[in-house]
Amino acid sequence: QKGLEQWSQPWSPIFMEWKVRYIHVPHEANGKKNWLFDGIDYILDDNAAGDGKIVQIGGVSPLSTHIRQTFKERLREFVSSGGDSKGYAQLDDWMRRVDGWCFVSQELTGFRAMLAQRDACTFRTPGTGMTEAAADTVPFLLNDVLSDFYGICQGQIFFTDLILYDKFGRVLELARSETGSGLYKHENFPLLRDAAMLPPRSLQPAVTAPAQLPPRLLQHMRLEVLLSDQRDDSMMLGESPRVNPICGWILVNHLDHGLLLYAPDGSAMGELRLQKPARGDKRVVWSPPVHGEIRTLLQIHQVFPHLGAFIAGLAGRGEADFSAFLETVDGAMWTLEPLGERSDLHLSLLIGRPLALVRAGFRFQLEGPPLTDAGWQATFAPIEPPFLKYGFSLRLGDQIARNDGTIGYFAGNDYTCFHSVAAPPFHTGYVCRIGPPGKPQGNYLELAVGASAPAYVTLLVDPRSPIHAFTGLLPVKDFKIPARFFEPALKKVEASFHIGPLLTKIMPTETTGEEEQVLENTVAVLPPAAQNGTWSWWEKEWAQGGGLQWNRYGLRDASPDARMENASVSLREGILQLIVALNEEKKE
């Protein structure tokens, strides 16, 4: 009985013929931007309008079911890289569901090339067929409307004609503009659009479902990240020898409510703390390290210019600016994933993460020269592409991504404003939040396409984590600081804590004759537990020749017993310092 049923030919589409109308929306109009960057992509301004011209473009695109396989592999990669146990358990079921999808897909083949006035047809030769006004064979739709040259795709499109062909020669007209004989009129064609392609309003009021195309260049481009030397921006990593992009290090000292400062190699460069003058409010004051040759801020400027500029930008500021900076940095670090189990015992695992000041430049780099107008009117008088004059936005850092190490940055050589990934606890003139994401016309860097000079910034980052850059024009780019620039420095970082007044005793160092050179005197202090490090006590004392100098004392554990010792008890005030020397193996 089943074999007597009437057989019907299955529908098997093989390619589609399409024609769209493109409405170009200029980047700017009357000095106001039509496209607003929200930290992720560009959105159309509510008052934006097209340039008054409608471009007609069409072509033929093959159809296939490759979208199922592509989606399955992307799903597998996503679950493998960032999924949890629940996602792994559901992966096989999701894969089977994707296999059951019954739709075909393909890009609008040649759309971007024709919009750029480039004919993608292979081995096209002049002939009578190129001048005919009509055609009666496939492809049926004509594409004889020349467009103005923009060099960038940004606007809205809507389908006017859409015809499907199957491998048995049957034709299905979904939309037709000339005869209206399709299943739909082109004005009410029910186009399904992704959320990113939903326009706030239709630039063609009669069309109910246009698709929005945010700004994208019509030629290949990349965001180039240039790590430059901390002394000379013209020296780039990979192009010049002995380049070090690390400008210095900072370590937030929560105990003293201050900032510990370090050179690129990890040596101490002093600290920034709030001090109360005899008159007036608290101000940020820089003080030199307790040992070493650095005694003035000018010495830091001469050797480490960006670290010196950072210190000068904070020194002299009030309590509000300094507290906002410390709390913003701390807030950004709370969103970073912990370092996890590590075999080393760097200082970052004991009291926090040292953050690096890194010098970097950013620029858009085109593949080859910029595309220009290929029309006859520009043959002997080439016109510069308009997109070269546009300013495009760049967002650095991502607080949502748990592995992004960006805390913020200083733009150019301006160290009077810190652009922070995290929101400051209160408004100040020193800390300004980047974006925030989702807010059009937020606080972002501006880059010009094809500019020869990069836009330089001094990043404040956790160098162990990647840094993400968002442009909207390109996929999200991430990059990392090479480990050779920060691992040796983290082994030399020393932490200093202001302690006092402390009631203790100064006593001669007890030796057995087997130790190496030891300090003459010791102070009874109970320091925090630490491995592979050396604690010491530093005090300012009057020198024999006059003037104050720092003297170093060793530490001995404070006794829990009430023992009588031949030493007087005194109130001491000084600096408790931990020097981590992981380069040297400890002797048994």
> pLDDT tens across 336-366, in order?
765 544 444 444 444 557 899 999 999 999 9
Position 103 scores a pLDDT of 74
128, pLDDT greater than 60: no
Position 88 scores a pLDDT of 76
- In what order do the strands lie in the sheet containing 391-396? 445-448, 391-396, 467-470, 477-479
Closest CA to 495 of 253, 285, 274, 275: 253
What are the residues whose beta carbons fall under 8 Å from the beta carbon of 73, sequence distance 6 or more?
A: none
**How many CA atoms are closer than 13 Å to the CA of 52, on its beta-carbon side?**
1
53, pLDDT greater than 90: no
Q: CA 557, CA 562: separation in Å to the nearest integer?
A: 14
Q: List 553's β-bridge partners, or say none.
A: 537
Which percentage of the chain shows pLDDT scores above 70?
82
- Determine the residue type at 78: F
Average pLDDT, the chain: 82
Position 386 scores a pLDDT of 85
563, pLDDT greater than 90: no
Q: What is the dihedral of CA 528, 533, 539, 541, to 10 degrees?
A: 160
Position 584 scores a pLDDT of 43
Residue 312 DSSP class: H
Give the confidence band of 443 by pLDDT, cuts at 50, 70, 90.
Answer: very high
φ and ψ at 19, to 5 degrees?
-145, 130
180, pLDDT greater than 70: no
Q: CA 158, CA 22: separation in Å to the nearest integer?
A: 7
pLDDT in tens, 468-503: 999 999 999 999 999 999 888 887 777 777 777 777
C-alpha separations of 553 from 288, 539, 574 in Å:
19, 8, 10
CB 41 within 8 A of CB 472: yes
pLDDT mean over 556-563: 63
Give the confidence band of 516 by pLDDT, cuts at 50, 70, 90.
Answer: very low
pLDDT mean over 211-237: 94
Q: List 470's β-bridge partners, or say none.
A: 395
553, pLDDT greater than 70: yes
Comparing 133-142, 201-210, 211-220, which segment has the lowest mean pLDDT?
133-142
Q: List 200's β-bridge partners, or say none.
A: none
239, pLDDT greater than 80: yes
59, pLDDT greater than 70: yes
pLDDT mean over 137-147: 50
Position 346 scores a pLDDT of 45
pLDDT mean over 324-339: 81
Coil, helix or strand for 41?
Answer: coil
Position 299 scores a pLDDT of 93
CB 508 within 8 A of CB 565: no
Q: CA 442, CA 37: separation in Å to the nearest integer?
A: 8
What are the residues whose beta carbons fall under 8 Å from the beta carbon of 326, sequence distance 6 or more?
A: 252, 257, 259
CB 307 within 8 A of CB 266: no
pLDDT in tens, 9-52: 888 888 889 999 999 999 988 888 999 999 999 999 988 988 88
Position 279 scores a pLDDT of 85
Position 324 scores a pLDDT of 94
Comparing 224-228, 373-377, 411-415, 427-431, which segment has the lowest mean pLDDT?
373-377
CB 426 within 8 A of CB 324: yes
Q: How many residues does the chain have?
A: 588
pLDDT mean over 533-537: 72
372, pLDDT greater than 90: no
Position 460 scores a pLDDT of 97
Position with higher pLDDT, 569 vs 206: 206
φ and ψ at 587, to 5 degrees?
-80, 145
Position 7 scores a pLDDT of 75
pLDDT mean over 449-459: 91
Position with higher pLDDT, 43 vs 143: 43
277, pLDDT greater than 80: yes
Comparing 133-137, 150-154, 333-337, 357-361, which segment has the lowest mean pLDDT?
133-137
Position with higher pLDDT, 238 vs 499: 238
Residue 201 DSSP class: S
Proportion of the chain in helix, strand, coil states, percent, rounded to 5: 15, 35, 50
Coil, helix or strand for 305?
Answer: helix
What are the residues whose beta carbons fall under 8 Å from the beta carbon of 170, sequence distance 6 or more?
A: 9, 11
Kindly report the three-state secondary structure assignment for every residue of 340-394: CCCCCCCCHHHHCCCEEEEEEEEEEEECCCCCCCCCHHHCCCCCCCHHHHCEEEE
Q: List 459's β-bridge partners, or say none.
A: 358, 409
Q: CA 546, CA 539: separation in Å to the nearest integer?
A: 16
Closest CA to 488 of 230, 249, 269: 249
320, pLDDT greater than 70: yes
pLDDT mean over 137-156: 67
Q: List 279's β-bridge partners, or say none.
A: none
Comparing 127-131, 324-328, 535-539, which segment has the lowest mean pLDDT?
127-131
Q: CA 245, CA 358: separation in Å to the nearest integer?
A: 5
CB 525 within 8 A of CB 558: yes
Which percentage of the chain shows pLDDT scores above 90?
35
Give the confidence band of 243 by pLDDT, cuts at 50, 70, 90.
Answer: very high
Comparing 138-152, 437-451, 563-577, which segment has the lowest mean pLDDT?
138-152
Tokens 């590590």 found at: 342
Position 581 scores a pLDDT of 47
Position with higher pLDDT, 450 vs 449: 449
Q: CA angle, 216 as apex, 210 and 220 as ends, to 5°?
A: 140
124, pLDDT greater than 80: no
